Structure 1
Protein backbone atom coordinates (compact mmCIF):
# COMPACT_ATOMS: atom_id res chain seq x y z
CA UNK A 1 0.00 0.00 0.00
CA UNK A 2 1.47 3.36 -1.03
CA UNK A 3 0.92 6.66 0.78
CA UNK A 4 -1.85 7.78 -1.59
CA UNK A 5 -3.85 4.60 -1.01
CA UNK A 6 -3.22 4.82 2.73
CA UNK A 7 -4.36 8.46 2.77
CA UNK A 8 -7.58 7.55 0.94
CA UNK A 9 -8.28 4.67 3.33
CA UNK A 10 -7.62 6.88 6.34
CA UNK A 11 -9.92 9.62 5.03
CA UNK A 12 -12.64 7.10 4.18
CA UNK A 13 -12.48 5.69 7.70
CA UNK A 14 -12.34 9.14 9.28
CA UNK A 15 -15.33 10.37 7.31
CA UNK A 16 -17.47 7.35 8.13
CA UNK A 17 -16.58 7.37 11.82
CA UNK A 18 -16.39 11.12 12.52
CA UNK A 19 -19.67 11.82 10.72
CA UNK A 20 -21.56 8.94 12.36
CA UNK A 21 -20.12 9.07 15.88
CA UNK A 22 -18.42 12.43 16.35
CA UNK A 23 -14.86 13.63 16.19
CA UNK A 24 -14.12 13.47 19.89
CA UNK A 25 -15.67 10.01 20.26
CA UNK A 26 -13.32 8.46 17.70
CA UNK A 27 -9.64 8.04 18.49
CA UNK A 28 -6.75 7.58 16.12
CA UNK A 29 -6.44 3.91 17.04
CA UNK A 30 -10.01 3.35 15.85
CA UNK A 31 -9.18 5.11 12.57
CA UNK A 32 -6.10 2.89 12.25
CA UNK A 33 -8.00 -0.34 12.84
CA UNK A 34 -10.91 0.60 10.57
CA UNK A 35 -8.64 1.74 7.73
CA UNK A 36 -6.17 -1.14 8.26
CA UNK A 37 -3.34 1.36 7.84
CA UNK A 38 -0.40 0.75 10.19
CA UNK A 39 -0.10 3.28 13.00
CA UNK A 40 3.36 4.40 11.87
CA UNK A 41 2.06 5.22 8.38
CA UNK A 42 -1.04 6.92 9.81
CA UNK A 43 1.12 9.34 11.82
CA UNK A 44 3.45 9.82 8.84
CA UNK A 45 0.52 11.01 6.72
CA UNK A 46 -1.43 12.77 9.49
CA UNK A 47 0.96 13.72 12.31
CA UNK A 48 -1.94 14.81 14.54
CA UNK A 49 -5.67 14.25 14.77
CA UNK A 50 -6.27 17.90 13.85
CA UNK A 51 -4.58 17.30 10.48
CA UNK A 52 -6.83 14.30 9.82
CA UNK A 53 -9.99 16.19 10.84
CA UNK A 54 -9.01 19.13 8.63
CA UNK A 55 -8.33 16.86 5.64
CA UNK A 56 -11.62 15.01 6.18
CA UNK A 57 -13.58 18.27 6.23
CA UNK A 58 -11.72 19.67 3.20
CA UNK A 59 -12.50 16.56 1.17
CA UNK A 60 -16.12 16.56 2.31
CA UNK A 61 -16.42 20.26 1.40
CA UNK A 62 -15.12 19.62 -2.13
CA UNK A 63 -17.55 16.77 -2.77
CA UNK A 64 -20.53 18.44 -1.09
CA UNK A 65 -20.06 21.77 -2.88
CA UNK A 66 -19.41 20.15 -6.27
CA UNK A 67 -22.55 18.04 -5.94
CA UNK A 68 -24.70 21.04 -4.99
CA UNK A 69 -23.23 23.19 -7.79
CA UNK A 70 -23.91 20.36 -10.25
CA UNK A 71 -27.55 20.24 -9.18
CA UNK A 72 -28.13 23.98 -9.58
CA UNK A 73 -26.27 24.12 -12.90
CA UNK A 74 -29.02 22.04 -14.48
CA UNK A 75 -31.72 24.64 -13.72
CA UNK A 76 -33.17 26.67 -16.55
CA UNK A 77 -33.35 29.98 -14.68
CA UNK A 78 -32.27 31.63 -11.38
CA UNK A 79 -35.54 30.83 -9.59
CA UNK A 80 -35.25 27.21 -10.71
CA UNK A 81 -31.65 27.13 -9.49
CA UNK A 82 -32.71 28.32 -6.03
CA UNK A 83 -35.44 25.68 -5.93
CA UNK A 84 -32.84 23.11 -7.04
CA UNK A 85 -30.82 23.89 -3.89
CA UNK A 86 -33.73 22.76 -1.73
CA UNK A 87 -34.52 19.77 -3.93
CA UNK A 88 -30.88 18.71 -3.55
CA UNK A 89 -31.15 19.16 0.22
CA UNK A 90 -34.29 16.99 0.28
CA UNK A 91 -32.36 14.16 -1.40
CA UNK A 92 -29.41 14.60 1.00
CA UNK A 93 -31.68 14.68 4.06
CA UNK A 94 -33.24 11.40 2.89
CA UNK A 95 -29.96 9.49 2.70
CA UNK A 96 -29.86 6.68 5.29
CA UNK A 97 -26.61 7.91 6.85
CA UNK A 98 -27.61 11.61 7.03
CA UNK A 99 -26.52 13.10 10.37
CA UNK A 100 -26.70 16.84 9.71
CA UNK A 101 -23.99 19.28 8.79
CA UNK A 102 -20.52 17.85 9.38
CA UNK A 103 -19.07 21.36 9.51
CA UNK A 104 -21.40 22.71 12.19
CA UNK A 105 -21.03 19.46 14.11
CA UNK A 106 -17.24 19.80 14.01
CA UNK A 107 -17.47 23.40 15.16
CA UNK A 108 -19.88 22.41 17.91
CA UNK A 109 -17.56 19.68 19.14
CA UNK A 110 -14.27 21.54 18.83
CA UNK A 111 -15.35 25.17 19.22
CA UNK A 112 -12.70 27.67 18.26
CA UNK A 113 -9.91 25.22 19.16
CA UNK A 114 -8.00 23.87 16.16
CA UNK A 115 -7.42 26.77 13.75
CA UNK A 116 -7.22 24.52 10.68
CA UNK A 117 -10.60 22.98 11.40
CA UNK A 118 -12.22 26.34 12.07
CA UNK A 119 -10.79 27.70 8.80
CA UNK A 120 -12.35 24.83 6.81
CA UNK A 121 -15.72 25.32 8.54
CA UNK A 122 -15.71 29.06 7.83
CA UNK A 123 -14.58 28.54 4.24
CA UNK A 124 -17.34 25.98 3.63
CA UNK A 125 -20.04 28.33 4.94
CA UNK A 126 -18.57 31.22 2.97
CA UNK A 127 -18.63 29.14 -0.24
CA UNK A 128 -22.26 28.23 0.40
CA UNK A 129 -23.13 31.90 0.96
CA UNK A 130 -21.28 32.84 -2.27
CA UNK A 131 -23.23 30.25 -4.25
CA UNK A 132 -26.52 31.54 -2.87
CA UNK A 133 -25.48 35.11 -3.68
CA UNK A 134 -24.73 34.06 -7.26
CA UNK A 135 -28.18 32.52 -7.51
CA UNK A 136 -29.93 35.48 -5.86
CA UNK A 137 -28.31 37.85 -8.36
CA UNK A 138 -26.57 41.20 -8.16
CA UNK A 139 -27.73 43.55 -5.44
CA UNK A 140 -29.66 40.81 -3.62
CA UNK A 141 -27.41 40.45 -0.57
CA UNK A 142 -30.36 40.31 1.84
CA UNK A 143 -31.98 37.55 -0.19
CA UNK A 144 -28.73 35.56 -0.20
CA UNK A 145 -28.48 35.90 3.59
CA UNK A 146 -32.10 34.81 4.01
CA UNK A 147 -31.56 31.80 1.73
CA UNK A 148 -28.50 30.83 3.77
CA UNK A 149 -30.59 30.89 6.94
CA UNK A 150 -33.21 28.70 5.25
CA UNK A 151 -30.56 26.19 4.12
CA UNK A 152 -28.88 26.08 7.54
CA UNK A 153 -32.17 25.94 9.40
CA UNK A 154 -33.51 23.12 7.25
CA UNK A 155 -30.28 21.19 7.75
CA UNK A 156 -30.45 21.62 11.54
CA UNK A 157 -34.09 20.51 11.65
CA UNK A 158 -33.37 17.53 9.38
CA UNK A 159 -30.52 16.45 11.66
CA UNK A 160 -33.13 15.99 14.41
CA UNK A 161 -35.85 14.58 12.13
CA UNK A 162 -34.22 13.09 9.00
CA UNK A 163 -36.22 13.12 5.83
CA UNK A 164 -37.11 15.54 3.05
CA UNK A 165 -39.79 17.59 4.84
CA UNK A 166 -37.49 20.30 6.28
CA UNK A 167 -36.14 20.94 2.77
CA UNK A 168 -39.67 21.06 1.34
CA UNK A 169 -40.73 23.61 3.97
CA UNK A 170 -37.61 25.70 3.32
CA UNK A 171 -38.23 25.51 -0.44
CA UNK A 172 -41.73 26.94 0.03
CA UNK A 173 -40.29 29.71 2.22
CA UNK A 174 -37.66 30.45 -0.44
CA UNK A 175 -40.40 30.67 -3.09
CA UNK A 176 -42.24 33.17 -0.91
CA UNK A 177 -39.05 35.22 -0.54
CA UNK A 178 -38.44 35.14 -4.29
CA UNK A 179 -42.00 36.29 -5.01
CA UNK A 180 -41.70 39.12 -2.47
CA UNK A 181 -38.35 40.17 -3.92
CA UNK A 182 -39.79 40.22 -7.44
CA UNK A 183 -42.59 42.57 -6.28
CA UNK A 184 -40.20 45.07 -4.66
CA UNK A 185 -39.40 48.13 -6.75
CA UNK A 186 -35.75 48.42 -7.67
CA UNK A 187 -34.12 51.70 -6.72
CA UNK A 188 -31.95 53.54 -9.18
CA UNK A 189 -28.47 54.66 -8.22
CA UNK A 190 -26.98 58.09 -9.04
CA UNK A 191 -26.21 56.94 -12.60
CA UNK A 192 -29.84 55.94 -13.18
CA UNK A 193 -29.21 52.20 -13.16
CA UNK A 194 -30.31 49.54 -10.75
CA UNK A 195 -27.55 48.50 -8.37
Structure 2
Protein backbone atom coordinates (compact mmCIF):
# COMPACT_ATOMS: atom_id res chain seq x y z
CA UNK A 1 0.00 0.00 0.00
CA UNK A 2 1.36 3.41 -0.92
CA UNK A 3 2.13 5.60 2.11
CA UNK A 4 -0.49 8.07 0.93
CA UNK A 5 -3.13 5.32 0.76
CA UNK A 6 -2.07 4.06 4.21
CA UNK A 7 -2.46 7.58 5.65
CA UNK A 8 -5.85 7.90 4.00
CA UNK A 9 -6.94 4.58 5.53
CA UNK A 10 -5.82 5.64 9.00
CA UNK A 11 -7.53 9.05 8.72
CA UNK A 12 -10.79 7.61 7.44
CA UNK A 13 -10.71 4.80 10.01
CA UNK A 14 -10.23 7.38 12.76
CA UNK A 15 -13.48 9.07 11.76
CA UNK A 16 -15.36 5.78 11.64
CA UNK A 17 -13.98 4.38 14.92
CA UNK A 18 -14.60 7.71 16.67
CA UNK A 19 -18.20 7.74 15.50
CA UNK A 20 -19.05 4.05 15.85
CA UNK A 21 -16.60 2.53 18.34
CA UNK A 22 -13.91 -0.08 17.93
CA UNK A 23 -15.66 -3.39 18.55
CA UNK A 24 -18.80 -2.26 16.70
CA UNK A 25 -16.80 -1.50 13.55
CA UNK A 26 -15.70 -4.49 11.54
CA UNK A 27 -13.21 -4.65 8.71
CA UNK A 28 -16.04 -5.14 6.20
CA UNK A 29 -17.55 -1.84 7.27
CA UNK A 30 -14.16 -0.10 7.13
CA UNK A 31 -13.64 -1.44 3.61
CA UNK A 32 -17.09 -0.29 2.52
CA UNK A 33 -16.76 3.21 4.01
CA UNK A 34 -13.14 3.85 3.05
CA UNK A 35 -13.28 2.25 -0.39
CA UNK A 36 -10.10 0.31 0.43
CA UNK A 37 -10.34 -3.46 0.11
CA UNK A 38 -9.77 -5.71 3.11
CA UNK A 39 -6.96 -7.39 1.21
CA UNK A 40 -5.21 -4.05 0.80
CA UNK A 41 -5.83 -3.18 4.47
CA UNK A 42 -4.33 -6.45 5.65
CA UNK A 43 -1.23 -5.94 3.50
CA UNK A 44 -0.25 -3.06 5.73
CA UNK A 45 -2.03 -3.83 9.02
CA UNK A 46 -1.79 -7.46 10.07
CA UNK A 47 -4.80 -7.08 12.36
CA UNK A 48 -7.63 -4.69 13.08
CA UNK A 49 -5.87 -3.94 16.39
CA UNK A 50 -2.76 -2.79 14.48
CA UNK A 51 -4.98 -0.37 12.55
CA UNK A 52 -6.58 0.83 15.81
CA UNK A 53 -3.12 1.52 17.26
CA UNK A 54 -2.21 3.58 14.19
CA UNK A 55 -5.50 5.48 14.53
CA UNK A 56 -4.81 6.18 18.21
CA UNK A 57 -1.31 7.45 17.44
CA UNK A 58 -2.72 9.83 14.84
CA UNK A 59 -5.49 11.04 17.16
CA UNK A 60 -2.97 11.54 19.98
CA UNK A 61 -0.73 13.68 17.80
CA UNK A 62 -3.58 15.73 16.37
CA UNK A 63 -5.37 16.25 19.68
CA UNK A 64 -2.30 17.21 21.70
CA UNK A 65 -1.07 19.56 18.97
CA UNK A 66 -4.47 21.24 18.80
CA UNK A 67 -4.96 21.48 22.56
CA UNK A 68 -1.47 22.75 23.38
CA UNK A 69 -1.49 25.24 20.52
CA UNK A 70 -4.85 26.51 21.75
CA UNK A 71 -3.51 26.77 25.32
CA UNK A 72 -0.32 28.56 24.24
CA UNK A 73 -2.39 31.24 22.54
CA UNK A 74 -3.57 32.33 26.01
CA UNK A 75 -0.11 33.66 26.87
CA UNK A 76 1.09 33.34 30.46
CA UNK A 77 1.23 29.84 32.03
CA UNK A 78 -1.66 30.40 34.47
CA UNK A 79 -3.86 31.59 31.59
CA UNK A 80 -2.76 28.57 29.54
CA UNK A 81 -4.01 26.20 32.22
CA UNK A 82 -7.44 27.85 32.22
CA UNK A 83 -7.49 28.01 28.42
CA UNK A 84 -7.56 24.21 28.40
CA UNK A 85 -11.20 24.44 29.48
CA UNK A 86 -12.02 27.08 26.88
CA UNK A 87 -10.61 24.73 24.23
CA UNK A 88 -12.71 21.89 25.62
CA UNK A 89 -15.81 24.05 25.30
CA UNK A 90 -15.02 24.64 21.64
CA UNK A 91 -14.49 20.92 21.10
CA UNK A 92 -17.74 19.98 22.87
CA UNK A 93 -19.67 22.44 20.67
CA UNK A 94 -18.11 21.16 17.44
CA UNK A 95 -20.19 19.05 15.06
CA UNK A 96 -19.58 15.36 15.58
CA UNK A 97 -18.23 15.60 19.15
CA UNK A 98 -18.42 12.08 20.51
CA UNK A 99 -16.38 12.04 23.71
CA UNK A 100 -12.74 11.05 24.04
CA UNK A 101 -11.40 8.37 21.74
CA UNK A 102 -8.91 7.29 24.42
CA UNK A 103 -11.54 6.89 27.13
CA UNK A 104 -13.56 4.83 24.67
CA UNK A 105 -10.57 2.70 23.66
CA UNK A 106 -9.58 2.02 27.27
CA UNK A 107 -13.19 1.06 28.02
CA UNK A 108 -13.43 -1.31 25.07
CA UNK A 109 -10.02 -2.82 25.85
CA UNK A 110 -10.06 -2.80 29.66
CA UNK A 111 -6.97 -4.91 30.35
CA UNK A 112 -4.13 -2.54 31.24
CA UNK A 113 -1.68 -4.87 29.54
CA UNK A 114 -3.51 -4.70 26.20
CA UNK A 115 -1.61 -2.51 23.69
CA UNK A 116 -4.72 -0.45 22.86
CA UNK A 117 -5.36 0.29 26.53
CA UNK A 118 -1.67 1.07 27.03
CA UNK A 119 -1.68 3.47 24.05
CA UNK A 120 -4.68 5.25 25.56
CA UNK A 121 -2.94 5.52 28.94
CA UNK A 122 0.16 6.90 27.21
CA UNK A 123 -1.93 9.70 25.69
CA UNK A 124 -3.16 10.66 29.15
CA UNK A 125 0.39 10.44 30.57
CA UNK A 126 1.68 12.82 27.89
CA UNK A 127 -1.10 15.29 28.66
CA UNK A 128 -0.19 15.11 32.34
CA UNK A 129 3.50 15.78 31.67
CA UNK A 130 2.73 18.89 29.65
CA UNK A 131 0.15 20.26 32.09
CA UNK A 132 2.54 19.63 34.99
CA UNK A 133 5.28 21.59 33.17
CA UNK A 134 2.89 24.49 32.61
CA UNK A 135 1.76 24.36 36.25
CA UNK A 136 5.40 24.52 37.35
CA UNK A 137 6.05 27.48 35.04
CA UNK A 138 2.96 29.16 36.51
CA UNK A 139 4.49 28.93 39.99
CA UNK A 140 2.10 26.34 41.43
CA UNK A 141 3.29 25.16 44.86
CA UNK A 142 2.47 21.54 43.90
CA UNK A 143 2.64 21.32 40.08
CA UNK A 144 1.96 17.57 39.94
CA UNK A 145 -1.01 17.84 42.29
CA UNK A 146 -2.44 20.75 40.34
CA UNK A 147 -1.94 18.91 37.04
CA UNK A 148 -3.74 15.84 38.41
CA UNK A 149 -6.63 17.99 39.63
CA UNK A 150 -6.97 19.91 36.37
CA UNK A 151 -6.86 16.74 34.31
CA UNK A 152 -9.49 15.10 36.52
CA UNK A 153 -11.68 18.13 35.81
CA UNK A 154 -10.89 17.81 32.10
CA UNK A 155 -11.83 14.12 31.99
CA UNK A 156 -14.99 14.72 34.01
CA UNK A 157 -16.00 17.55 31.69
CA UNK A 158 -15.50 15.30 28.66
CA UNK A 159 -17.67 12.53 30.09
CA UNK A 160 -20.31 15.04 31.23
CA UNK A 161 -20.38 16.65 27.78
CA UNK A 162 -20.73 13.22 26.18
CA UNK A 163 -23.61 12.24 28.43
CA UNK A 164 -25.20 15.63 27.91
CA UNK A 165 -26.87 16.21 31.26
CA UNK A 166 -25.25 19.61 31.92
CA UNK A 167 -25.45 22.74 29.79
CA UNK A 168 -21.77 23.79 29.80
CA UNK A 169 -19.44 21.31 31.52
CA UNK A 170 -16.31 23.04 30.20
CA UNK A 171 -17.29 26.34 31.83
CA UNK A 172 -18.23 24.50 35.04
CA UNK A 173 -14.83 22.79 35.07
CA UNK A 174 -13.08 26.10 34.37
CA UNK A 175 -14.75 27.74 37.39
CA UNK A 176 -13.61 24.88 39.63
CA UNK A 177 -10.11 25.08 38.10
CA UNK A 178 -9.94 28.78 39.01
CA UNK A 179 -10.62 27.81 42.63
CA UNK A 180 -7.97 25.06 42.50
CA UNK A 181 -5.52 27.63 41.22
CA UNK A 182 -6.18 30.26 43.89
CA UNK A 183 -2.58 29.96 45.12
CA UNK A 184 -1.06 30.18 41.61
CA UNK A 185 0.28 33.66 40.77
CA UNK A 186 -1.46 35.52 37.97
TM-score higher than 0.5 here? yes
Gaps spanning 5+ residues in structure 1: where? 184-195
Q: Distance in 2 between matches of 1:128 and 1:167?
A: 17
Separation (CA, whole Å) in 1 of partners of 2:156 and 2:91: 14
Instruction: Select the structure of larger CA radius of gyration.
Output: 1
Q: Give the C-alpha shift of residue 16 in structure 1.
A: 1.5
Shift of 1:21: 1.0
Q: Which residue of 2 aligns with 1:98?
A: 97
Deviations 1:12-64 (A, max 9, x none): 22111111111111101111111111222110111101001100011000000
Pair 1:8 & 2:11 matched: no
Partner of 1:136: 135
Mapping 1:3-82, distance limit 5 Å: 3-82=2-81
Residue 125 of structure 2 corresponds to: 126
Q: Which moved more, 1:124-133 or 1:8-17?
A: 8-17
Contact 2:78 2:184 in 1 (8 A): no
1:100-157 deviations in Å (ceiling 9; x for gaps): 1100101111211773212210110001111211121164221111111101110110
Matched, 1:152 2:155: yes
User: How many matched pairs?
Assistant: 181
SS in 2 for 1:47: coil
Q: How big is the alpha-carbon RMSD for the aligned residues of Structure 1 and Structure 2?
A: 1.9
Structure 1 residue 10: Cα displacement: 1.5
Which stretches in structure 2 are left out of the alignment for 5+ residues? Answer: none
TM value normalised by structure 1: 0.86
Q: Secondary structure at the match of 1:111?
A: coil
CA contact (8 A) 1:101 1:155 kept: yes
| Deviation, structure 1 residue 163 | 8.4
Tell me the TM-score normalized by structure 2: 0.90
Corresponding residue SS for 1:41: helix
SS of aligned partner of 1:98: coil
Of residues 169, 173, 181, the one that matches 1:170 is 173
Structure 1 runs (4+) greater than 2 angstroms displaced = 113-116
